[in-house]
Structure 1
């Protein structure tokens, strides 16, 4: 099953909508998030998979739209694939990650 990707411009529009049903996941490491982040994302570092994976289907609604971000889009793609394998039906990868978001949407977010 293929993963849908959205642009950082689309992410900015979706964030501006303040949709309470939109689920936002950031899979970067805590030290990366400390350097650069977008508000309202739940931090689930891939390196801590063993800690958060058992409760993913109770922490998030598998039917709700779920957007996943990382630094450039590779780790988030892995997470999207895993979420689909866990029964999540509306998962989208943020193309280019936080780096593209900083470059193209919000230059106040530092690049690293």
Structure 2
């Protein structure tokens, strides 16, 4: 029997994210986190994602459950999907319930969904 309170961590394909991003309610309700560095975000970004650079983990980690709501759907993004997966696993350990990691990161999103986003 599954526990409805159990945390879930799933991969989401760039195409699925793109469809969700068309919905204004989704953009307002979901928590969108970009764990890349500021210089990376300045090269390429997806509107609506808030920066939580892993290099500044010590600054934002202590208050993450005050800044974000652990019960809300939380989507994580990085360059290729590795750093965001690490962050998602940590958020899960902090009580976040519904986590989604963008598979292939912004590179896959730029390649497969929005070619106007700079690849680096």
TM-score category (smaller protein)? over 0.9
The 1:68/1:22 distance shift into structure 2, 3 A limit, reads: same
> Is the Cα contact below 8 Å between 2:35 and 2:84 reproduced in 1?
yes
Aligned to 1:3, the other structure's residue is in SS state strand
Provide the C-alpha distance between the structure 2 equivalents of 1:57 and 1:26, rounded to a whole number of angstroms: 16
TM norm structure 1: 0.97
The answer for unaligned runs of 5 or more in structure 2 is: 1-6
The match for 1:14 among 20, 38, 44 is 20
The match for 2:100 among 83, 92, 102 is 92
The match for 1:62 among 60, 70, 73 is 70
Provide the C-alpha distance between the structure 2 equivalents of 1:52 and 1:2, rounded to a whole number of angstroms: 22
Who wins on radius of gyration, i.e. which is larger? 2
TM norm structure 2: 0.90
Report what 2:11 is aligned to. 5
Shift of 1:2: 6.7
The match for 2:57 among 41, 44, 49 is 49
Q: Which moved more, 1:12-21 or 1:90-99?
A: 12-21
The number of residue pairs the alignment matches comes to 112
Residue 37 (structure 1) aligned with residue 45 (structure 2) = yes
The answer for unaligned runs of 5 or more in structure 1 is: none
